[in-house]
Structure 1
Amino acid sequence: MASRIRRVDYFYTTVRDEPGEAYRLLSTLADLGINMMAFSAVPVGPMHTQLTIFPDDTGRLQRIAREAQLRLDGPHPALLVQGDDRLGALAEVHAKLYEAGVNVYASSGVADGRGSFGYVIYVRPEEYERAAEALGV
């Protein structure tokens, strides 16, 4: 598999920075049958953490979150790159965005240790369509 790039949605919630907060959210989502493509936790100030989830089915998450009274902010657009882990793979993606004049304001990625990688790209809402077009999605 070369690289596959697709449009994705993400949702986030901000919690107190305490042990078990990510576990509570992730176990609740699993119990509700929500499958995720990605997840991140990032500190926001000294006492809070932003938990970000990328569901594989946005509509399903929205319905279930509403029923379960989960407070999630979103959906927000992002781009998900998945592919074969090879030298220069991310540079090629960034080159296309640079050539289109798109600024990547945040990103996060990981190699799985078996030859594949996943990479989430955040661009400003006003640049999202241009970024998607530059990446062919």
Structure 2
Amino acid sequence: MKKLILLALAGAAAGCTANEPVQMSADDESRLNAELAGYEQSGPPVSCISTRDLRSNRSAGEGAIIFDGPTRQTLYVNRPAGGCPELGAGRALVTRTTTTQLCRGDIATVFDTASSMQYGGCGLGDFTPYRRVRS
């Protein structure tokens, strides 16, 4: 019985640790690097961003979601800990929030825009800001 309790406590403690982003494939990492060409990280990752400041989103494979900021100068990269189904042609990302912010831990669902079929979902991670580099 003691072993069972200790095992349960160890499992609960493991669930409280910070999750690292999913390891991206080499192809997905290359896609992300191509998307970020001409940009540099402009600050530390933040846990929430205002939904007013987001124009659109796209994915770089299943390991990263790129959110376009309020201007073409700003991007936010989100790397969900468990990955996220890829956004491609005819797919959209839907989030449900109770505030005006999108935050780490919010659930995003990927669905087909024609059939409304869900492909899956993911828990969002931190948002890393990037700013376009002036040449």
Higher strand share: 1
**Higher gyration radius (CA):** 2
- Could you state the TM-score of these two structures normalised by the residue count of structure 2? 0.27
- Could you state the TM-score of these two structures normalised by the residue count of structure 1? 0.27
